[in-house]
Amino acid sequence: MSEIRPTITVEFPICNSCRKPITPKERGVSFLCPNCGSYTIWRCKTCRKQGTKYVCPNCGFTGP
């Protein structure tokens, strides 16, 4: 008899700038695109600190 093991996949949000997953421990930030308000932008702590640009895939707005 084969045992069915449930698999849990935890998906972390992806940093809009560097495309790395943001772990809850790291404390990134998320907000709705300032311009169009219809896409959630995530920024990791490093990109936030360095002021790395983010781009909204919906409207093309570039921040910060």
Partner 1 sequence: MSSDETERQSIEGELLVPQETYMLSGIHIGTEAEIKAMREFIYKVRNDGIHVFDLKKIDERIRIAARMLSHYEPGGILAVAASRFAVRPVQRFSQFTGAVAFVERFTPGLLTNPNLPGYMEPQVILLSNTEGGSQVVSEAALAGIPLIAFCDSNSPIDYVDLIIPMNNRSRKSLALAYWLLARQVLRERGQLGTQEDLPVKPEDFEMESEEGGIE
State yes or no: residue 64 binds partner 1 (CB under 8 A).
yes
Least distance to Zn ion, CB of residue 6, Å: 31
Site for Zn ion in 4-63 (CB under 5 A): 15, 17-18, 33, 35-36, 44, 47, 56, 58-59, 61
What is the phi-psi region of residue 31: left when phi exceeds 0, alpha when psi lies from -120 to 50, beta otherwise?
beta
- Give the contacts of 58 (CB within 8 A, at least 6 positions apart): 33, 36, 38, 39
Least distance to partner 1, CB of residue 16, Å: 11
The answer to whether residues 55 and 61 touch, using CB atoms and an 8 Å cutoff, is yes
Where do contacts with partner 1 occur on this chain (CB under 8 A)? 27-32, 34-35, 37, 43, 45, 48-51, 61, 63-64
